[in-house]
Amino acid sequence: MARFLDNFCRLLEAVMALLLAAMVVLVFGNVVLRYVFNSGITISEELSRWL
């Protein structure tokens, strides 16, 4: 049982790291698009909140 919980916690940590990385890329891309190209990703703010 302890082995299962360790693997499950490791899986959750990996999922959280992937979601955090996606959020950083999304927000950074939105900032670059907004200030360089005067446009942006419309769903970026809401999607980053969900992530």
- For residues 3 and 47, give the distance between their C-alpha atoms in angstroms, rounded to a whole number: 34
- The pLDDT score that the predictor gives to residue 15 is 97
Place of tokens 């979601």: 19
| 28-38 pLDDT tens trace | 999 999 899 88
**pTM exceeds 0.85:** no
Report the half-sphere exposure of 15 (CA within 13 A, side-chain side): 7
Residues in contact with 30: Cβ distance below 8 Å, sequence separation at least 6, in sequence order: 40, 41, 44, 45
| 1-51 pLDDT tens trace | 889 999 999 999 999 999 999 999 999 999 999 899 888 888 888 888 888
- The pLDDT score that the predictor gives to residue 12 is 97
